[in-house]
Chain A
């Protein structure tokens, strides 16, 4: 009897175990997985952390949740089991994505920085790269503020004149060069890994010479479906520069003439008062511009199917009435488990972008004559509204408001990325995967220029309508086979792969002139009546590769990784198409050695070293090794009739081949204070051989290109430096914080250049200010040293050679004193001194995440130290050259008598001394800056108020303040440029200050 009853009881009802799962700090964990070990029974905890599961007294329950150490507890007859989970010791357990695989962070042998997608979402921007700034050491990101603008990314210095863009790889698909990463919604990113040294990047072979940025999009997870909604809306502002108004402009303008004993040619009223005239900045630049970012996402799945999806809309307006960029992106990543060995998935990402190019008008707005009204007098108005804008009275600047009104350029972009993939695990430890990615995009650009007449020198003689259609279809087929096995304490992972890629561009351009009028309905090609033109061609590029990797470690103490890739590319002639890219790296976990056993200070000491070779195949176009024919028409016949002719248009280089970059990296990783504190230090040197450059050849060769140029593999560059990363996190008390500090110091040098001569760039009026000298760092400024201002005639006379010949015969009191450096009595090229360099001594990023109860604070700072900028616009804003407008203090600060100042020369219309027409130390300023990129305060509603999920409100300020001595608009934008010509301020679009209100909802 007694014996039967429990049996019956057992058969008739399933016993259940209930309880609550919490973290060791007493916080509820919802969504934690509770499973019965060995049986297919599992559940997850509810929003209050509670669960109930069918389990017998003999069962063992397994509790797990991301970020916590899993626990196994036998039921042992209990019906209520409350669990406290310990957070995972450190991020050493985190998984880091490497090329074609993933590795635990603690097992890394090369230099890779990993940034989680969540850390990138705090900063609201179109491109994830803007958010990456300051978070990864070794990566220098220079952003420019315009909507849709793509920042310049330099990983560990520059080693090629053919661009510094790294290779972007999204879900194992390398993207074509020149891809603007703002197509990817940052919300879709699970993690971003930066592969910095060749031992990590060599697996990508021919395109990896500038480093690789791997992006992995979110995939599904089994468990209850989680919905997220996030939105942020805000306004952007730009500080108004201190530009003179009409009254100061009048003083400066007239003084320039009178200082040279000339009669001023003044075309407006005299004695203007402050407040008169036009404030062009106020008219053309809006105080605020909107920015929006909205995303709705979901993630979930079961044993059979996991999925993750997102719909997002982003829009950024420029500070003008025209100019914006928006993007609607949808993503759906799906994976089905067909059998226990086979998984089939498809990732889909359609999107639509549209934009109007933001005009480059800050220079014109600041220089425009303030005495000129926006419009002509109304009695002079004509039917063509574009003719009604006023012509500048005192300079040649085109009316900025007229320019804005005429702008009509709209681009639409339709795209679809699709990746079906199949993963098979035939035997234990072996995984075979094949994926076929298609990246298709169609871009339609419309441009219209109206006919208008404001002045003989400010007119558009004919209206012009243009349509461009560019279609790109790229496909990539990647196959990998990997096998992991262990022999006692020896752990091996091997991988081999094969890829084929094709990039196709189909271009079409059509244009016509002379539409009847500027009515919007007539701004189409069909309305054009003259000079119909059409052009277009197809371009193909292909790549085929085999790759492999071997990873070995002994007892997690000694590591060895070797990779190999062989690429064949269509960019080079047969015979030079293939190249091999090997790499090898190793690591030694010193802290696991017996002689360090028992010590408690360091949880991890790992020494790393690696060597690798990567390549660069970015040349201007296909077929550079072929001799091409182009048109060369002539005329014959009694009426002078066109005769179609042809001639050589390109002489090809049959020896053209890859650039190769070899690099060496040594690193040390330390973790102490119970893994709360981690430190990483790396030293590296990268060298480029066979750099692809257009070489000038002897003109007697008669090559059709300018200066008889031909692409050749000449030249070499080198980048060398060190990186430093510090992280500290404290999660166990009421006050939590995560702090990170990154520093990078790199020097990029040109070792050998074409013709072994310096390459001069940086045009400053009729001179060149930048010298790239073989053996020296790139982009260095050279110019004349200014030793002050001549205060009187005597000083002018004293500045002479021993025989009395004046060094500056055209100088007057009030002009700059230029130093005759070599003392030969003449001012020329040989007197130029080194004035500064465009690239920084080091860059630094500081990131903090603080939490207290329900509040959190996120702060990102970014700084660049030791770089100089040529503030070229400053020259015009103090000299008022060509009648342009000036800074408000230009009149007060200029020299106006003996002793008035020693820093700013006198105003002069002729400037015979060339105060403001030659590169000099006046133009160079220190461009170091520290910028508060992001300050965000967030508040999460306590679970008592909102128990269905999590609701967080936030207030952010982006680019709130910048600490700098630079007097121009934005030191970050001004420091941009190419390898051989950087650091010249061109009054580009500054990074705006943005204030945002945000909402994040998870349920």
Chain B
């Protein structure tokens, strides 16, 4: 009896000593571990695809929502929705200090989440055991491009921001400060130059890879980055490369620019790719968000009569009907019955107008429409933009001949007469063209913030403020019955604009508080 007992205890004891650690090792099942990832090409390709997802994310509230909101803060768009609570947008659109708003917090948060994804690829891919050099270099170049894209989006909205280059622990970013605007731009330029070197031209990609970053896209963004810093000579040089590469051209008809059939067209440098695959959230929703409330839309952001007047003053019929739909119109270029006598109820929409560019003809809509399955790719950079940036830079460096050529290519496409002026008059013509060609494509806010007007102030400071021209137009001059009648959104939008504060957006307040003051808020918020 005793012997059996002793034997049993010895057995128990030995079991204890040999199986300790393994018994307690229980990882999360059904999920992969980052620290053992990047073993195969497939894994690397999946990770970079995840970085692309971070460009616009997979629903409306992360970053997509912010883009129409940035237009609401210009002279091109109202908030427009006058039936629901406007509290998400009003402080951004009407310049009432949005530092506590979720709109900005989500934008900031999700841009940094995407930066982390690129940082993971850039950190871990070089150490991996993938042998295909070419593929590895291309993926790294893609990651650089995407990281530069994310930082550029942050910088143009907030100014200098903290630069994070790796997956870090909270202790490592204790006391982190904002890098200066120059440091941030230098960082972005470095990434874009390296990306441009490592990325192939668009025509060199196999067709299955359409949508990936290209050399043209990297150079196009590099041009924009230089332009925003007023480095005109560099802008001109870089964009000239894009124009002469022969990879891109304007589409022959402006109506084709924002259509599903012409996704990834010859004019496109970089687009958010969408799919209508059943059972997944891989499509776009901006069409619904900016659509008419009477047509399953949410009615956020609607064009102003001021913009409509600008089209009319330029005699620009083609782009007017392809940019703005007004209540009662037959929607341009939609043959369906539902597009006739289109309803954008004036009592529910400030200007009774919506954006035609994001509008999808009924026959092409996903079912259900109000979901993330619409296939209209979101154009982020197109050739017309490149031409106009080139024109702006060339005009600034005194190269007016080249500037006029580029400008008139854009004008010719929409049957407008060529421009023959030069100097400041040409500069104004380019600026006006930029407003009309790229209207409602989230360019306006950054243009009016950076352009200097002839009186030395920024253009935006002349448009807004209690005496701003846009404010005076709406409150005193405008004869647009829709906007004057519907005061559920106040026509004095922009009157509380403060030029020593509102050339940038405020950093989300929660971040300032959490950093215990090491991240300093933009002045006067």
Contact = CB atoms under 8 A, between A and B. Distances in A.
Interface of A: 339, 341-342, 424, 426, 432, 434, 479, 481, 498, 500, 502, 531, 533, 536-544, 568-571, 574, 577, 621-623, 626-630, 632-638, 640-649, 651, 695-704, 707-708, 710, 712, 755
A697 B170 contact: yes
A646 B23 contact: no
A533 B279 CA distance: 9
Interface stretch (B125-133, B207-215, B433-441, B488-496): B207-215
B273 interface: yes
- When A and B form their complex, which 5 residue pairs have the shortest distance between CB atoms, in order from nearest? A645-B49, A702-B116, A647-B50, A623-B28, A537-B30
B478 to A, nearest CB: 31
B160 to A, nearest CB: 12
B264 A648 contact: no
Contact of A623 (B26, B276, B519): B26
Nearest to A540: B26
Contact of B282 (A577, A635, A696, A702): A635
Given A426-B2, A637-B209, A645-B53, A570 B47 contact: no
B375 A640 contact: yes
B12 to A, nearest CB: 6
Contact of A636 (B29, B31, B176, B212): B212
Nearest to A339: B1
B37 interface: yes
A538 B515 CA distance: 39
Interface in B271-286: 273-280, 282
Contact of B49 (A536, A538, A646, A704): A646
B49 A644 contact: yes
A812 B217 CA distance: 62
Contacts of B211: 634-637
- Among B23, B173, B277, which residue has the most Cβ atoms of chain A within 10 A? B23
A649 B30 CA distance: 13
A640 B8 CA distance: 66
Contact of A622 (B28, B52, B170, B264): B28
Contacts of A627: 33-35, 167
B511 A628 contact: no
Contacts, number: 211
Contact of B31 (A577, A629, A635): A629
Contact of A646 (B8, B47, B263): B47
Interface string B141-182: 000000000000000000001101001101001001000000
24 contacts: A531-B279, A536-B30, A537-B30, A538-B30, A539-B29, A540-B26, A541-B26, A568-B20, A569-B24, A577-B24, A632-B54, A633-B58, A633-B280, A640-B377, A644-B46, A645-B48, A645-B49, A645-B53, A646-B46, A695-B170, A696-B510, A698-B511, A700-B162, A707-B109
Nearest to B32: A629
B37 A641 contact: no
B67 interface: no
Contact of B1 (A342, A531, A574, A577): A342
Interface in B346-375: 375
Contacts of A502: 23
B274 A635 contact: yes
Given A633-B280, A637-B211, 16 more contacts: A342-B1, A498-B16, A544-B16, A577-B24, A622-B26, A623-B28, A629-B33, A634-B50, A635-B274, A637-B210, A641-B208, A648-B34, A701-B170, A701-B173, A707-B109, A755-B514
B113 interface: yes
A698 B513 CA distance: 10
B43 interface: yes
Contacts of A633: 49, 53, 58, 280, 282
Given A531-B279, A544-B20, A648 B210 contact: no
Interface string B255-279: 0000000011000000001111111
Interface string B1-45: 110010011001000100011011111111111110100000100
Nearest to A630: B31
Contacts of B384: none
A634 B273 contact: yes
A642 B280 contact: yes
A628 B273 contact: no
Contacts of B25: 570, 574
A284 B280 CA distance: 40
B1 A638 contact: no
A634 B53 contact: yes
B115 interface: yes
Interface in B40-79: 43, 46-54, 58
A421 to B, nearest CB: 14
Nearest to A424: B5
Nearest to A507: B30
Nearest to B30: A537
Contacts of B47: 645-647
B53 A632 contact: yes
A704 B57 CA distance: 12
B73 to A, nearest CB: 22
A640 B43 contact: no
- Among A339, A538, A647, A696, which residue has the most Cβ atoms of chain B within 10 A? A647
Contacts of B2: 426
Given A629-B34, A642-B275, A699 B207 contact: no
- Among B35, B170, B282, which residue has the most Cβ atoms of chain A within 10 A? B170
A634 B49 contact: yes
B508 interface: yes
A626 B209 CA distance: 32
Contact of A542 (B24, B37, B511): B24
A163 to B, nearest CB: 21
Contacts of A479: 12
B238 interface: no
Interface string B209-228: 11110000000000000000
Contacts of B515: 698
Contacts of A426: 1-2, 5
B112 interface: yes
A696 B105 CA distance: 13
B114 interface: yes
- Among B116, B119, B167, B279, which residue has the most Cβ atoms of chain A within 10 A? B116
B53 A544 contact: no
B176 A700 contact: yes
B240 interface: no
Nearest to B170: A697
Nearest to B6: A426
B193 interface: no
B280 A646 contact: no
B120 interface: yes
B117 interface: yes
Nearest to A538: B29
Contacts of B300: none
Nearest to A712: B170
B33 A626 contact: yes
A392 B344 CA distance: 29
A268 B509 CA distance: 49
A719 to B, nearest CB: 29
Given A479-B12, A646-B50, A568 B24 contact: yes
Contacts of A697: 170, 514
A290 B25 CA distance: 49
A162 to B, nearest CB: 19
Given A628-B32, A628-B34, A702-B115, A542 B26 contact: yes
Contacts of B511: 698-700
B514 to A, nearest CB: 6
Interface string B309-324: 0000000000000000
B29 A537 contact: yes
A433 to B, nearest CB: 12
Nearest to A539: B29
Contact of B164 (A424, A696, A702): A702
Contacts of A434: 8, 12
B108 interface: yes
